[in-house]
Amino acid sequence: MKTSSIEPFFAALKAANPQPNTELEYTTVFELLTAVLLSAQATDVGVNKATRRLFPVANTPQAILGLGLEGLEGYIKTIGLYRSKARHLMETCRILVERHGGQVPRTREALEALPGVGRKTANVVLNVAFGQPTMAVDTHIFRVSNRTGLAPGKNPLAVEMQLLQRVPPAYAVDSHHWLILLGRYVCQARKPRCWECVAAPWCDYQPKTPRP
């Protein structure tokens, strides 16, 4: 994608969705961290179904610890890999209580030190909770960035670095949401719905998928 196309590409996405947000349901930073940790290799819809049961009962690190491992597993067993995720979440809660006063830390280093929290999860928390212009490259963003020519890369980190360089500052904070939603609903894996895409005029993908 030409540099001159990037600004109108994001302007079109912004015009269509001025205030994008994550589709994970949460009301606190800890709830967000929990939901993102549970969302690895799972859908946001599936995670939301589980957290709607979990959060009214336990939505703080201390309360999660109070459930015990088996208790926690009972609430999240509908999510893939729930046993390992439950262990990671319990250990994360213990660390938050013992080292951070029960609060979610605001730095990448401290977040990535939590069990089950990798670079992508840390990026989501830093962006959504703390407003930092980070890029959490999931499968949707990876596909969209390569397919459109916006930020080609052979792995998620390469794409992330490209995005950080190429996305104009005015769009940086919200850009990861626009790209995820674009990939989830329009620029889909099997066949992109180019005829529905507001940003198609600036995208390098050829040939564009015609209207069925």
Write out pLDDT tens, residues 129-155.
999 999 999 999 999 999 999 999 999
Task: Read off the pLDDT of residues 107-133 as tens digits, 9 standing for 90 and up.
Answer: 999 999 999 999 999 999 999 999 999
Q: How far is CA 150 from CA 85, 92, 136, 175, in A?
A: 33, 35, 15, 12
**Is 138 in the active site?**
yes
pLDDT-flagged residues of the chain (< 50): none
pLDDT given for residue 12 in this prediction: 98
Catalytic one among 44, 49, 138, 204? 138
Q: Could you check whether the bond before residue 192 is cis, i.e. omega within 30 degrees of 0?
A: no
Dihedral angle over CA of 194, 196, 200, 204, nearest 10: -20
**pTM of the full structure:** 0.91
pLDDT given for residue 13 in this prediction: 98
pLDDT given for residue 83 in this prediction: 96
Q: What share of the chain is helix, strand, coil (3-state, %, to 5)?
A: 60, 0, 40
Residue identified by tokens 């099997």 is 190
pLDDT given for residue 50 in this prediction: 97
CATH class of segment(s) 3-20+135-202 = mainly alpha
93 assigned ligand-binding residue: no
187 assigned ligand-binding residue: yes
pLDDT given for residue 81 in this prediction: 94
Q: Rounded CA gap, 165 and 25, in Å?
A: 30
**Is 204 in the active site?**
no
Residue identified by tokens 């939505």 is 59
CATH superfamily of 29-130: Hypothetical protein; domain 2 (1.10.340.30)
Q: Where are the domains of the chain?
A: 3-20+135-202, 29-130
CA nearest neighbour of 30 among 107, 175, 129:
129
Catalytic one among 49, 120, 154, 174? 120
